[in-house]
Amino acid sequence: MQKSAGPWAGISLWGPSRRRGGWMIEIRELTHRYPNTREQDAPAVDAVTLTINRGELVAVVGPNGSGKSTLAKHLNALLLPSTGEVRVDGLDSRDPANLWQIRRRVGMVFQDPDNQLVATTVEEDVAFGPENLGLPPAEIRQRVDRALAAVRMTEHRHRSPHYLSGGQKQRVAIAGVLAMEPDCLVLDEPTAMLDPAGRREVMETVVRLNREKGLTVVLITHAMEEAIPADRVLVMDRGRLIRQGTPRQVFALFDELRPLGLDVPPMASLAYQLRQAGLSLPEDVLTIEEMVNCLCSSA
């Protein structure tokens, strides 16, 4: 089947990323219990083991309460393991001496960009992190310029963030993290509060940063279609990692995902329904173009 960019027009979803080799994050038997959790209650994250490779784009999906956001907060030591371990570039998050280096290596972007915008202009906001690192002004300027160019917001550098659209605000929030020059970007439901246009802006930016810059990306999302460009999809339920594979492998598990309350991308759902009606279609259809090609070839 011919691979197509589908809804992410203009971005090569299946083109090779600039891999740097080796793992970026290693998680072993990670379990997390929040304070005051009853012993008989299931932990928020339960014995999760996985590795995330350098340059990889990983999407984490699952129903509400599945532990996605709790897992994300462990990747830059905002939370520490109750048991098990998390290592970032070889640094154990349980060692307080490693926290600063871990947070420089792994930057986080959250749902609401307004909670991450702190300055009166876009360029001042992006400069906030590098200034706190105590970098010289010339280096700060270079980092701000590079970060704004990476998210295509240079022309808005003198505007107030509060006059931007939701998608533009989230791109500025991403630029603020990029200016810290992390090795890995973790996005916790970054499009949850955005309209469709804003969602597209953010996702195009994220995929481009991964494909063109080789940035390691971990995307926590409730929107299954956003996981299509990922190299790997992780499925969580009740704190456990229950499935992982390529988007085509995972979204073919229609009968397993639906009981979890998870939809699959629209074309995968349509292909499933057409197969149930007796039409012979592959199980890994993900995009409109692929659906059209399949229907035309079977006509």
85 is a domain residue? yes
The CATH number of residue 237's host domain is: 3.40.50.300
Within a domain: 202: yes
Distance CA 3, CA 267 (A): 14
Q: What is the pLDDT of residue 13?
A: 29
Q: Please give the residue range of the domain that contains residue 126.
A: 23-247
State the Cα–Cα distance between residues 225 and 251, nearest whole angstrom.
Answer: 10
What's the pLDDT band for 5 if we cut at 50, 70, 90?
A: very low
Tell me if 205 is assigned to some domain. Answer: yes
Q: Report the alpha-carbon distance of residue 114 to residue 198 in Å, rounded.
A: 14
For the chain, the average pLDDT equals 87
User: Counting Cβ atoms within 10 Å, is residue 296 exposed (0-12), middle (13-18) or buried (19+)?
Assistant: exposed
Which band of pLDDT confidence, cut at 50, 70 and 90, is reported for residue 120?
very high
Residue 159 neighbours by CB under 8 Å, 6+ apart: 121, 122
Query: Would 72 be classed as within a structural domain?
Result: yes
pLDDT (0 to 100) of residue 9: 34
Helix (H) or strand (E) holding 212: helix 196-213
In SS3 terms, 229-284 reads as: CCCEEEEEECCEEEEEECHHHHHCCHHHHHHHCCCCCHHHHHHHHHHHCCCCCCCC
Q: Is 28 exposed, middle or buried (0-12, 13-18, 19+ CB in 10 A)?
A: middle
Q: Is the pLDDT of residue 28 over 50?
A: yes
Average pLDDT over residues 61-82: 95
pTM given for the model: 0.85
Q: Is residue 164 included in any domain, yes or no?
A: yes
Q: What is the pLDDT of residue 21?
A: 62
Domain count along the chain:
1
Q: Which residue has the tokens 């990983």?
A: 58
Decide: 242 and 262 in contact? Cβ < 8 Å: no
Q: What is the pLDDT of residues 127-164, one digit of tens each?
A: 999 998 889 999 999 999 999 999 999 999 999 998 99
* Contacting residues for 284 by C-beta, under 8 A, at least 6 apart: 1, 248, 249, 251, 252, 268
Contact 162, 171 (CB under 8 A): no
* Residue at 298 is within a domain: no
* Domain assignment present for 282: no
- Nearest Cα to 272, choosing from 262, 261, 283? 283
